[in-house]
Amino acid sequence: MSDLLAARSQMAMSLAFHIVFAEIGIAMPVMMVLAEWRWRRTGDAVYLQLAKRWAKGTAMLFAVGAVSGTVLSFELGLLWPRFMELAGPVIGMPFSLEGFAFFTEAIFLGLYLYGWERISPRAHMVAGVIVAVSGAASAVFVVMVNAWMNTPTGITVLGGRIVAVDPIAGMLNPSSFQQALHMLIAAYAATGLAVAGIHALVILRGATAPLHRHALAIALCVGAPAALLQPLSGDLSARSIAKLQPVKLAALEGQFDTERGAPLRIGGWPDTDARVTRYAIEIPRALSLLAFHDPGAEVRGLSSFPRDEWPPVPIVHLGFQVMVGLGTAMALASAWVVISVLRRRVIAEHRPLLTALAIVAPFGFIATEAGWIVTEVGRQPWVVQGVLRTATAVTPMPGLVVPFVVFTLLYLALAAIVVSMMASLVRETT
């Protein structure tokens, strides 16, 4: 394994690990506060039990998210020192704001978790709301950094060095809004439907405790609207990529030739040597329609870019297919939920729907991972699009396979422990 590949693998693995905890850290506080709010409104002690149960889960997952996020803030330099030397003055701004948001989140999470008997009911609820809001704000600021890597603005580069910076312009780069929106909705959809699916499964297995029904209802309130909105946000992102990162669009669609009225390819495998995507279902003109809202629009193909500026096409194409496929399944399941609610059916007794929810439970997190592969691998060979190549940014330290293996083993162990602890937390009430 080359040092560059080891560094890329370590970064990818660290992000893949952290993002799951980050998503949960964004969405769980919303559900936890909703449960507490229902308890304060209805006096139903089951909601209190639920709020405390969720708070316990949040505490554990937030802590793992916080430490793995700390690792990332160091890894940026440990693995990509040239990137940070160049980009630090620009992306430091959103990172600083993220730091403050994270600080606020940690302070008020402490108050929420341990303050049930120490602060007034109103203060306790407000603390929970602040946790939820600052968690979302953290995500927005961090994603702004990634958006800048895709579409860098606010810098003047001369001979490989940044000579002038405008950090505000960097933050408000043209991808920030679409990417932050997409990530935020993903967090609510993935976490909400995962929690709903777990409780659906428990109910299917015969559990009758009202806690599961309450949990299912609240989780669906958070997850289903998000899953229904996500395709719209995805459309915004895709159109922005079509305009700003045409090579990424070509890779994720497996589009090798520049053509007018390009078809949408579902599935298939891009053959980069023959420069053709095989075995795909092609919907005529649909790509032009989706990417530019015009069925006759011209879509640039990979062949119009130098070969050494192509990302690894098959991985990006596959990642995109997985993300869109799973996202669509989540949206369909959510639509079914909405229809059932409108028809006044009791979801907790609707076995086919419960089964569908149990099946889509892991989809959101898998789709998130696939989505990050699309945006990160799709930007290769650049770490900052058009400005700095990944191979130039890597640390000169040799033997990078060692830290990669160490952190991978550490994270695998942590993941196994967290999963088993969460499972027993859910089992406590069956």
Partner 1 sequence: MNDFIASIDRPEIVAGIMILALNAYALMGGADFGGGVWDLLASGPRRERQRELISGTIAPIWEANHVWLIVVVVMLFTAFPAAYGVLSVVLHVPLSLMLVGIVLRGSAFVFRSYGSRTREDRRRWGLAFAIASTITPLLLGDIVGALSSGGVADAARRVGRGAFVEVFVSPWLAPFPLAVGALALALFSFLAAVYLTVAAQDDEVREDFRRRALASAVAVFVTAGIALLLARGEASRVGIGLTAGRLAVAVQVATGVAAVVAIGALWRRRYPLARLAAGAQVSFILWGWALAQYPYLIPPTLAIRDAAAPAATLELLLWALAGGAVILIPALVYLFRTFNAPVRRAL
Q: Which residues bind partner 1 (CB under 8 A)?
A: 56, 59-60, 62-64, 66-71, 73-74, 76-78, 81-82, 84-90, 92-93, 95-100, 102-104, 106-111, 113-119, 162, 164-168, 395-399, 403, 406-407, 410, 414, 417, 421, 424-425
Q: In the bound complex, what is the minimum distance in angstroms from residue 391's beta carbon to partner 1?
A: 15
- Lookup result for tokens 């909705």: 185
- Give yes or no for a contact between 212 and 199, defined as CB atoms under 8 angstroms apart: yes
**Pairing outcome for strands 382-384 and 281-283:** unpaired
Which residue's CB is nearer to partner 1, number 155 or number 323? 155
Which residue's CB is nearer to partner 1, number 339 or number 417? 417
How far, in Å, CA of 221 to CA of 196, rounded? 9
Q: In the bound complex, what is the minimum distance in angstroms from residue 343's beta carbon to partner 1?
A: 40
Q: In the bound complex, what is the minimum distance in angstroms from residue 155's beta carbon to partner 1?
A: 10
Q: In the bound complex, what is the minimum distance in angstroms from residue 283's beta carbon to partner 1?
A: 46
User: Long-range contacts of range 150-159, CB-CB < 8 Å, 24 or more positions apart?
Assistant: 150/175, 150/179, 150/244, 150/245, 150/248, 150/375, 150/379, 150/385, 151/175, 151/244, 151/245, 151/385, 152/90, 152/384, 152/385, 152/386, 152/387, 154/90, 155/90, 155/387, 157/387
How far, in Å, CA of 196 to CA of 164, rounded? 49
Which residue's CB is nearer to partner 1, number 77 or number 174? 77
Q: In the bound complex, what is the minimum distance in angstroms from residue 40's beta carbon to partner 1?
A: 12
Which residue's CB is nearer to partner 1, number 92 or number 267? 92
Q: In the bound complex, what is the minimum distance in angstroms from residue 402's beta carbon to partner 1?
A: 9
- H helices, E strands: number in the chain: 14, 10
Which residue's CB is nearer to partner 1, number 93 or number 242? 93
Which residue's CB is nearer to partner 1, number 110 or number 160? 110
The tokens describing 52, both together, are: 């405390």
Which residue's CB is nearer to partner 1, number 232 or number 410? 410
How far, in Å, CA of 304 to CA of 285, rounded? 20
Amino acid letter for position 313: V
Q: What are phi and psi for residue 278, nearest 5 degrees? A: -95, 160
Q: In the bound complex, what is the minimum distance in angstroms from residue 338's beta carbon to partner 1?
A: 34
